[in-house]
Amino acid sequence: MVAMDAATGVVAPLPGPHAPDGPAIELRGLTKYYGRHRGIEGVDLTIGRGEVFGFLGPNGSGKTTTIRTMLDLIRRTGGECHVLGFDSEEGSMEIHRRTGYLPGEYGLYENIIVKDFLGFLLDLRGARAHEGRMRELAAMFDLELGRRISELSKGNRQKVGLVQAFMHDPELVILDEPTSGLDPIMQQRFYALARRECARGHTVFMSSHLLSEVESVCDRVAIVREGRLITVERIDELKERFGKVLHVTFDSDVPRTALDMPGVTDLHQEGRSYTMIVRGDVDQVVKAVAAHRVVSLTMETYHLEQLFFDLYGSKAGEDGPDGKGGGGR
């Protein structure tokens, strides 16, 4: 049910059961097993309202299992799960009403016009008054509403999925690999949309294996490995904790011992060039470098991609008992 303010034209959902205050998502010891095989185990996670939150891990790490359990598409084995203040099982209908969802594997009716398909979904939600928002989102993503779905490319099908997830103005949007198949321009438009929804107090939870995507749009990130969370932090704090990368080339040979000091790790030498990770006090390292004649020097933030591989090591993508990277998805 929806209502439109006659003065402003703003469309808003009619109030349903009161959504309790508190986090958008709260998981405590959330566990899901597929028979004897682990999906996720002991997941503790709190996501505030108005966050764009990134959920990272390779295929098989448990990302999709976590999402499906939160939405009660599969039943949890143990633990607690609250979404928008409602228990994921007891309040699943209300959660679905207030949530937009784009699954990683998204099926579409082929022999139907895009506009009719999206209108059908609005009618199912009792949200036909949001048709204007649907058209606005379609225009944002250059989605042709008059095309038949069978004629659409992979990227355009993904646009349909994004529009349907956002078009009913949900409080929470859960997206599994949201930019799959999108070109760089459309990716940037999606990032802008996610930030806009965050500014409105809505929450965007996005699962991804595209590290640059999460780094550019998310406030915080959780990294999941073999069904367990291994870190949950703000991206800026996470990268600060892992230091900065310094590249320096000298015009003559400089002994390795001149740069081997507290705060410097992963010191690699190739001829007269050095690469190192600097944690803590950068000043003392720069002074040590400046004691020699420098040909070039660059310092960059430790990229989330490198951090991700450091945290996973050689086990990223390793197959589990069901051939899907440790048993989860």
Spans of the chain, pLDDT less than 70: 1-21, 239, 301-329
221 in Cβ contact with 233 (< 8 Å): yes
| Res 130: pLDDT | 94
Alpha-carbon span 141 to 137, nearest angstrom: 6
End-to-end Cα separation, the chain, in angstroms: 34
Give the start-to-end residue ranges of the domains of the chain. 2-237, 243-301
Matching CATH topology for 2-237 and 243-301? no
CA-CA-CA-CA dihedral for 325, 46, 93, 191, to nearest 10? -70
pTM of the model: 0.75
* CATH number for domain 243-301, candidates 3.40.1340, 3.30.70, 2.60.40, 3.30.450: 3.30.70
Instruction: Provide the 3-class DSSP secondary structure of residue 263.
Output: coil
- pLDDT computed for residue 304 by the predictor: 62
Identify the CATH homologous superfamily for domain 2-237.
P-loop containing nucleotide triphosphate hydrolases (3.40.50.300)
Q: Please give the Cα distance from 143 to 137 (Å, whole number).
A: 8
pLDDT at 108: 87
Task: Report the pLDDT value the prediction gives residue 265, as an integer from 0 to 100.
Answer: 82
pLDDT reported for residue 318 = 38
In whole angstroms, what is the distance from residue 1 CA to residue 4 CA?
A: 11
